[in-house]
């Protein structure tokens, strides 16, 4: 029988997961697959028949239905890595091989046939999607980024691999800006040159921790079109900037509206994803039934009976 044990964000709080982590041990000599992500730890082991509960669980995991962020894609790579690591370390049972290979196939199938992973569902992803749309209209863009934190770092990872962008970084702590500029292949401007940065940008991203606005109407001296993403709370961009005809401002509320719309699309696809999982479970169970029938046929053959009789006689 194939078994599994799980500690995840749906069944355990963060504190409970931390406490259970230290007690979540397994005999390393036993062939098993260990899956660990930011919000789950799971172990699969054993041989023989796979219960439907186990099949359904891992298929849902692979499809992103068990993720705290519905439909997220990272789990597919994490599942594949866990399986490959176990293959290198152990001789896994045929049931475990088939289970994980079919789970990865199911996850891909769900994402291909539904919109469960469509659209951005984080502030950074939503901002990147909107930047892409702007670039489709404008082509090559000069982008300015003001403020350094996890949110802007996530956006920078995309911008640094985007050939359509020239990126400038500006931060109150100039040494921190220099470090990020070197890491992501960008250029750096001191915070005192904020007006200059605004004048050369097509897109400006602001996400500082300032307790007041840092960009005002008088700071924008250019007549060319400018798109601003104000990702700060309180806002970095004064409301008077919205009145400029050449400037389009996206604030946090607008970004979150985009995220919410995408989440609604994803939730509307859950039922369709469940139907695909049911189809794949049926296929897996058909494979198990076929194997079981094959084994029974093998045991009824004359040579198999002779072997069994010899074993019985020797045991006597």
For the chain, give the number of residues.
316
Task: Please report which confidence band the pLDDT of residue 301 belongs to, taking 50, 70 and 90 as the band edges.
Answer: low
Residue 316 lies in a domain: no
CA atoms within 13 A on the CB side of 244: 23
Residue 311 confidence (pLDDT) above 50: no
Domain region containing 31: 2-118+266-283
Residue 137 lies in a domain: yes
What pLDDT does residue 109 have? 96
Sign of CA dihedral 24, 30, 36, 40: negative
* Mean pLDDT score across all residues of the chain: 87
In a domain, 221, yes or no: yes
For residues 174 and 140, give the distance between their C-alpha atoms in angstroms, rounded to a whole number: 27
Is 21 contained in some domain? yes
Q: Which residues contact 71 (CB under 8 A, 6 or more apart)?
A: 63, 64, 65, 111, 116, 117, 118, 121, 266, 269
pTM above 0.95, yes or no: no
Same domain, 75 and 131: no
Please state, in angstroms and as integers, the Cα–Cα distance from residue 286 to each residue in 110, 278, 300, following that order.
20, 12, 21
Domain membership of residue 47 (yes or no) is yes
Is the residue at 248 inside a domain?
yes
Residue 72: what pLDDT? Answer: 87
Three-state secondary-structure class, residue 67: coil
pLDDT in tens, 73-98: 889 999 999 999 999 999 999 999 99
Residue 298 maps to a domain: no
Q: What is the pLDDT of residues 177-200, one digit of tens each?
A: 999 889 888 899 999 999 999 999
138 shares a domain with 112:
no
Contact between 160 and 184 (Cβ < 8 Å): yes
pLDDT at residue 310, as a whole number? 45
Residues 248-259: tens digit of each pLDDT: 999 999 999 988
Asked if residue 308 belongs to a domain, the reply is: no
Q: Are residues 57 and 168 in the same domain?
A: no
- Same-domain check for residues 95 and 8: yes
Q: Is the peptide bond before 153 cis (omega within 30 degrees of 0)?
A: no
Highest mean pLDDT among 12-21, 98-107, 304-313: 98-107
Asked whether residue 26 falls in the same domain as residue 128, the answer is no
Do 180 and 230 share a domain, yes or no?
yes
Q: What is the CATH number of the domain that holds 27?
A: 3.30.460.30
CB 124 within 8 A of CB 153: no
- pLDDT, residue 214, reads 96
312: pLDDT confidence band, cut at 50, 70 and 90? very low
How many Å apart are CA 13 and CA 17, to the nearest integer? 6
- On whether both 113 and 127 belong to a single domain, the answer is no
Task: Examine the domain organization and report whether 13 and 64 are in the same domain.
Answer: yes
When divided into structural domains, the chain yields a total of 2
Q: What is the pLDDT of residue 316?
A: 39
Phi, psi of 186 (to 5 degrees): -110, 175
Compute φ and ψ for 25, nearest 5 degrees: -115, 160
Portion of the chain with pLDDT greater than 70, in percent: 89
Higher pLDDT, 244 or 164: 244
The per-residue DSSP string of 139-169 comes to -SEEEEEE--SHHHHHHHHHHTT-TTEEEEE
Tell me the CATH number at 151: 3.40.50.720
Q: What is the mean pLDDT of residues 217-242?
A: 92
Could you tell me where the beta strands, DSSP code E, fall in 69-223? 141-146, 165-171, 187-190, 203-206
Degrees (nearest 5) of the Cα angle 49, 313, 301? Answer: 50
| Phi, psi of 150, deg, nearest 5 | -60, -40
Res 303 pLDDT > 80 = no
Judgement on whether residues 23 and 127 belong to the same structural domain of the protein: no
Kindly state whether residues 113 and 36 are assigned to the same domain.
yes
Q: Is residue 92 located within the same domain as residue 174?
A: no
Is residue 96 domain-shared with residue 165, that is, in the same domain?
A: no
| pLDDT greater than 90 at residue 276 | yes
- pLDDT above 90 coverage of the chain, percent: 57
């Amino acid at each position: 029988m194939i078994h599994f044990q799980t500690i995840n964000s749906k069944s355990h709080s963060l504190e409970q997961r931390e406490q259970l982590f230290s007690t979540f041990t397994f005999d390393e000599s036993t062939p098993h697959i260990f899956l660990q992500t930011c919000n789950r730890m799971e172990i699969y082991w054993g041989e023989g028949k796979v219960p439907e509960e186990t099949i359904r669980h891992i298929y849902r995991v692979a499809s992103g239905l068990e993720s705290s962020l519905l439909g997220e894609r990272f789990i597919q790579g994490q599942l594949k890595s866990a399986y490959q690591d176990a293959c290198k370390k152990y001789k896994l049972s045929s049931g475990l091989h088939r289970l994980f290979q079919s789970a990865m196939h199911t996850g891909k199938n769900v994402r291909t046939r539904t919109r469960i992973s469509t659209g951005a569902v984080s502030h950074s992803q939503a901002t990147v999607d909107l930047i892409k749309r702007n670039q489709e209209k404008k082509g090559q863009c000069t982008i300015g980024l003001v403020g350094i934190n996890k949110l802007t770092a996530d956006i920078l990872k995309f911008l640094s691999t985007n050939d359509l962008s020239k990126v400038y970084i500006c931060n109150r702590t100039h040494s921190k800006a220099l470090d990020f500029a070197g890491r992501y292949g960008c250029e750096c401007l001191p915070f005192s040159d904020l007006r200059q940065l605004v004048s050369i940008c097509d897109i400006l991203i602001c996400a500082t921790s300032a307790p007041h606005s840092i960009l005002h109407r008088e700071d924008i001296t250019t007549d060319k079109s400018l798109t601003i993403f104000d990702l700060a709370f309180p806002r970095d961009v004064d409301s008077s900037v919205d009145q400029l005809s050449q400037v389009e401002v996206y604030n946090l509320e607008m970004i979150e509206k985009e995220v919410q719309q995408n989440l609604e699309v994803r939730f509307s696809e859950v039922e369709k994803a469940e139907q695909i999982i049911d189809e794949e479970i049926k296929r897996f169970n058909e494979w198990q039934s076929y194997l079981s029938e094959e084994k029974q046929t093998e045991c009824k053959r004359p040579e198999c009976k002779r072997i069994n009789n010899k074993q019985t006689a020797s045991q006597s």
